[in-house]
Chains A and B, each alone.
Chain A
Amino acid sequence: MSLWGILAINSFAFGGLLFLLSAGFSLIFGLMRVPNLTHGSMFMLGGYVGASLYQTWHLPFWLAALGAAAAMAAFGGLIERLLLRRLSGSILAQVLVTLGISFIVADFCLLVWTGDPISVTTPKSLAGGVRAFGLFFTFYRMAIILVACVVAALLWALLDKTRLGAMIRAGVDDPQMARVVGIRVSRLFTTVFCLGAALAGFGGIMGAPVLTVYPGLDTDMLPLALLIVILGGAGSLLGSLIGSFLIGFLYNFGQAMFPELAYFVLFLPMVLVLALRPQGLFGRSAS
């Protein structure tokens, strides 16, 4: 019985990480219509940079996590300004460029951090756990869930309560009209891209103590982000939150119950959603 409880906690924690990954992906995709295939690489690179800051440079964990997020924001901003900016409207070109960058990043990481997985120690303040209801709750996993919820609340407040959020929503709904009424959509694009990249990088280092950081983490995470956006609907925050927890549960329970077919279990909800509601659970139908 307690096995299922532990699995459920792990699923929630993994779902929280997936939310950090997919929220940015979904926003970028919803606003800019850019399929950012570097998103998995941002997650992995964020994990590596954070791990180096934390373990080699001995920064406090949270500072290292913020550093990784800032580094990824800068990296994402560069990609957006220098490359994606020139390619607006051409899906094929965007796919190829983001894919090309993800290959370069993967090889770069292999070069710098070698092929051995890097395990990151849990920060001391969050080591250990507490026993309650016959289950062992690891503090760190609880922290991941908490951080994901806080980020979700902050993003929701940002999108729903602030002027910037109103502009982003206007940009998602109708970029041309948004331009006409004087919103600088191009600056908005850069902001959202940096934000998405920062969240992915932050997720990477947050996940490092649980998942470790290893070559191939990028291509492990990217399809999950795609699945979540397909499930939840592009540009929908609620969609990516619910999609993340759903995939988190399917991933962990699938691995435990049908280890050989774990990937297949992941793919079933996508089939259902595509068949019944192709715009995603919370997405609006495309024009």
Chain B
Amino acid sequence: MTAIRVALLAALAALIAVPWWVPGDYYVSVASQILIYAIFALGVDVLIGYAGLVSLGHAGLFGLASYTVAAALAGGSGQFGAILLALAVALAGTAVFAALSLRATGIGFIMITLALGQIMWGLAYRWVDLTNGDNGINVASRPMPFGLDLEVATNFYFAVLVVFLLALLAAWIFVHSPFGASLAGTRDQPRRMTALGFHVWLIRFFACMFSGLLTAVAGILFVYYTKFISPPSLQLTSSAEVVLMVISGGSGTLLGPVVGAALVVIVKNVASAYIERWNMLLGAIFVAIVLFMPEGLVPGAPRIWRAVLRWLRANPAAAKGAAE
């Protein structure tokens, strides 16, 4: 246990020190982006990993929060009011989303969330009066909490880091609470949980609401990060990307989505510099992960590491060859 704690403390220190060890403001921004997506992925992981519900429509909720901030600011609202309004609207949206999609579980849940997500995208694209259609909405300025100028990349990073740590803490408390245990119960044995007197539907509903809250927070940070929101952020690809983060990192762990977010954001930023076909790579990664590492990086890496060690021990000649 202590080794893990030391590693986590080291990771925390590395996160705090990011502005000093990365080579420039651009990379500080990439780090902010990773943390924002990590919050989003944590929200989706609450459903995938702990409730056993895969949502392919979460980009719709993410976008709902982003659009609300942008539209409220464009309508002349203050920063604080816009953020509160976005949280309220996104949570109301999540409630509708959950009420509809929880009519089913398993495949049905996936299909309904996918359809709902596409409807959100369609609204963003078509409801031009409100969303400005394909042109999107610009956000003029970031808020200035406690007089801190968030236009500076480093300051923005620290603000995101604080929110991220709070979100991680909230997710940790949520997962380790008795409620989290009953949520895992509804994932593994819904019928027995019903027989034990738990209200399975309501437990899942609250899990959706918590997931929606994290998603909304990520959406609000995202719109301030890019200072712009447009329909592509709500596409199926975006929902799929965040699911990929959760699965590649390891669903059902809190560290997995964070690692997955880092992996996807880095691959995307690096890959898009060299090749145009990011989507093809994304698809190939999906297929490869499902076939070779279905449990994800965080739980899977030790297994593969052990397998490599075992193979090396069984084949000393190969090990020697590798060493040379």
Chain A residues at the B interface, C-beta cutoff of 8 Å? 29, 33, 35, 37, 83, 86-87, 90-93, 95-97, 99-104, 106-108, 111, 219, 222-223, 226-227, 229-230, 259-264, 266-267, 270-271, 274-275, 278
Contact = CB atoms under 8 A, between A and B. Distances in A.
A107 B280 contact: yes
Given A267-B119, A274-B112, A96 B243 contact: yes
B30 interface: no
Nearest to A278: B103
B126 A263 contact: yes
B122 A262 contact: yes
B115 A87 contact: no
A106 B277 CA distance: 10
A93 B247 CA distance: 10
Interface string B280-298: 1011111101110010000
Interface of B: 48, 54, 56, 100, 103-104, 106-108, 110-112, 114-116, 118-119, 121-123, 126-129, 235-237, 240, 243-244, 247, 277, 279-280, 282-287, 289-291, 294
Contacts of B247: 92, 96
Contacts of B112: 226, 230, 270, 274
A225 to B, nearest CB: 9
Contacts of A270: 100, 112, 115
Interface of A, helix, strand, loop or mixed by DSSP: helix
Contact of A223 (B104, B106, B115, B243): B115
A107 B123 contact: no
B126 A83 contact: no
In the A-B complex, list the 3 residue pairs whose CB atoms are closest, starting with the nearest: A263-B122, A100-B286, A103-B283
B279 A271 contact: no
20 contacts: A33-B107, A35-B110, A87-B290, A91-B110, A95-B110, A97-B287, A99-B56, A99-B240, A99-B286, A101-B283, A103-B280, A104-B284, A104-B287, A108-B280, A219-B235, A223-B114, A226-B112, A263-B119, A267-B115, A278-B103
Given A104-B280, A107-B277, A270-B115, A264 B287 contact: no
B103 to A, nearest CB: 4
Contacts of B118: 219, 222-223, 263
A108 B112 CA distance: 27
Nearest to A87: B290
Given A35-B110, A103-B283, 4 more contacts: A100-B283, A219-B236, A263-B123, A264-B122
Contact of A103 (B54, B279, B290): B279
Contacts of A219: 118, 235-236
Central interface residue in B48, B119, B277, B286, by most chain A CB within 10 Å: B286
A153 B291 CA distance: 39
Given A107-B277, A107-B279, A230-B115, A96 B289 contact: yes
A229 B111 contact: yes
A287 to B, nearest CB: 12
Nearest to B241: A103
A83 B287 contact: yes
Given A96-B243, A223-B114, A274 B283 contact: no
Nearest to B283: A103
A31 B283 CA distance: 26
Contacts of A259: 126
